[in-house]
Structure 1
Amino acid sequence: MTNRPDILCIGSVLWDIIGRTPAHMGAGADVPGRITRLPGGVAMNIAMTLGRFGLRPALLTAIGRDPEGDELVAACARMGLVIDHIYRSDDLPTDRYMAVEGGNGLIAAIADAHSLEAAGDKILRPLMNGTLGGKTAPWSGPIALDGNLTTGLLADIARSEAFAAADLRIAPASPGKAERLLPLLPVRNATLYVNLEEAGLLCHRRFDTAPEAAEALIDRGAARVLVTNGGRTTADGTADGIVTADPRPVLVTRVTGAGDTFMAAHIVAETQGHSREDALRAALDAAAHYVSGDIGS
């Protein structure tokens, strides 16, 4: 394997269509604002942040062979992301995500990742056929995996020898898809990144704090979990104990992609050899920069 990427980002790469307004919004609100279309998706957001920190990520995803897909792949290439292993489908359209954000946070969102789900294990072929890994030499570097894959495929990944040697970092994509990660919870080489609501869904209970949620997930068999809670205390939990840090207060101008930025920055900090405490603080600082608008999309 030549020209090996630093990390694999597996999951959703799509177009983000985001409407933002500083006004507080409720159901049925109709207010002025801005609408943008940008490359997005959990795997894409993570890859973009990793690239900004100097790593060379490769994308394993499904993108249609339609004009929107061609434009998206070209945008990925311009950012320096490795696009050689993307599965391009002739009959599936390029996926999209649509969200509305107000001054009071995320109002509503719809993720149309049906093409990624329909592509199934086709996106994983480079990990099986010797391109990036195989049965005799599985991929041994970091992998960022998102929960936009189907429950069945995530369960297959949990059992697959192709992932057994990897440093597997996992995000649920959204609270609505958090329970898809249950098969991956006991995987010993996996680190889960969830928010407080997602932690509650995985444990079938409500939590008041991130440290409480992290401890419960470890008790349920997770090897390692990071739990965020908006502007409140964040926790990094393992069997060796819980490490916590508080985000610094900032003016929030956007929220879509904040969790992905946190996860990517944390991965970078740990690849640079930072301690658990320092890596957690570095990730929180990167997320604070992002939500305040100091880091471009």
Structure 2
Amino acid sequence: MTTSPNILCIGSVLWDIIGRSASHMRQGSDVPGRIIRIPGGVAMNIAITLRRQGMHPALLTAMGLDPEGQELLAQCQRMGMACDHIYLSKDLPTDRYMAVEGGNGLIAAIADAHSLEEAGDKILTALLDGPLGSASAPYEGLIALDGNLTVELLTQIAASPAFAKADLRVAPASPGKAQRLIPFLEQGRATLYVNLEEASLLCSASYDSAEAAARGLLDRGAFRAVVTDGGRPTADGTKDGILVQTPPEVLVTRVTGAGDTFMAAHIAAEYRGASRDAALSAALTAAAAHVSGETPYD
């Protein structure tokens, strides 16, 4: 890619293995469907949508030098990602994510991001003391960060002077990892993209709406909180007030990657200069196109 990156995507880049059926499913269901393998992971899903929106992301992640990693790296390069700063390990296998989706939504998923966690701050070398920035010369652009990193590394990032001037956008990756974002509440740094369940876990509270959850996150110290709730209203909360919009009604055919698509479209719209209202609308429209199947896999 010859164009300089205008956003860094930090976190999981792996193979998504997704089984999908139109049938409603429950524990123990055995139904016909399709199984696909595609490049995925939160950071990768965000980068894919950013490329679709005309932006030029660089990936900061870990991959193995195994055949799966070499194939994944080639795919990332083909899709237009800047891959110069990816940490390539001869000892760690390439990570994977496996999900089963039915007509009634996500049935179960397992994220195996152990290699990313074991790589630790090696994935940040270019940003902490390298060509992208350092503590004395912080990176000043957009960063999309996902919660698949360890608590220790996320805590380091939240307080690091190397990130002090960045426009930092953070997502937890899953409800099970939501509490990893507590350091960003404590530091009052970053825009948090969470769903209603994740917001409740972060605040140790129970909320009945995205608007209430956004207010709760702001009260806990969040710089900015964008909270989704499936097909119910979404909220964007800042010190200037809470904006609420209702997503378009669509037939849901897939759910994996919807939150990542929403986040990326929101970032891209604001990068282009859209107002808060217009950016939220653009993000909800992009997420609706994704879950309806209108947006194809690359």
Q: Same fold (TM over 0.5)?
A: yes
Structure 1 residue 293 corresponds to structure 2 residue 288: no
Question: What is the aligned partner in structure 1 of residue 198 from structure 2?
Answer: 198
Q: Secondary structure at the match of 2:261?
A: helix
Shift of 1:219: 0.5
2: distance between equivalents of 1:188 and 1:253?
37
Paired residue type of 1:142:
L
2: distance between equivalents of 1:139 and 1:229?
32
Q: Deviations over 1:8-65 (max 9, x none)?
A: 0000000000000010000000000000000000000000000011111000000000
Q: How does 1:45-60 map to 2 (within 5 A)?
A: 45-60=45-60
> Comparing 132-141 with 53-62, which one deviates more in the overlay?
132-141
The two structures have a TM-score, normalised by structure 1, of 0.98
Shift of 1:207: 1.1
Give every structure 1 segment of 4 or more consecutive aligned residues whose post-TM-superposition deviation is greater than 6 Å.
none
Paired residue type of 1:220:
R
Question: What is the aligned partner in structure 1 of residue 233 from structure 2?
Answer: 233
> Comparing 48-57 with 132-141, which one deviates more in the overlay?
132-141
> Comparing 91-100 with 136-145, which one deviates more in the overlay?
136-145
2: distance between equivalents of 1:66 and 1:215?
45
1: distance between equivalents of 2:8 and 2:128?
14
Question: What is the aligned partner in structure 1 of residue 215 from structure 2?
Answer: 215
2: distance between equivalents of 1:279 and 1:203?
26
Q: Secondary structure at the match of 1:80?
A: coil
Q: Secondary structure at the match of 1:185?
A: helix
Percent identical across equivalent pairs? Answer: 69
Unaligned runs of 5+ in 2: none
Shift of 1:184: 1.1
Question: What is the aligned partner in structure 1 of residue 242 from structure 2?
Answer: 242
Shift of 1:189: 4.0
Q: Deviations over 1:63-99 (max 9, x none)?
A: 0000000000000000000011000001000000000
The two structures have a TM-score, normalised by structure 2, of 0.98
Question: What is the aligned partner in structure 2 of residue 63 from structure 1?
Answer: 63
Question: What is the aligned partner in structure 2 of residue 11 from structure 1?
Answer: 11
> Comparing 226-235 with 188-197, which one deviates more in the overlay?
188-197
Q: Secondary structure at the match of 2:133?
A: coil
2: distance between equivalents of 1:44 and 1:3?
18
Paired residue type of 1:234:
T
Question: What is the aligned partner in structure 2 of residue 20 from structure 1?
Answer: 20
Q: How does 1:1-297 map to 2 (within 5 A)?
A: 4-297=4-297
1: distance between equivalents of 2:99 and 2:129?
37
Q: Deviations over 1:79-129 (max 9, x none)?
A: 000011000001000000000000000000000000000000000000022
Paired residue type of 2:132:
L
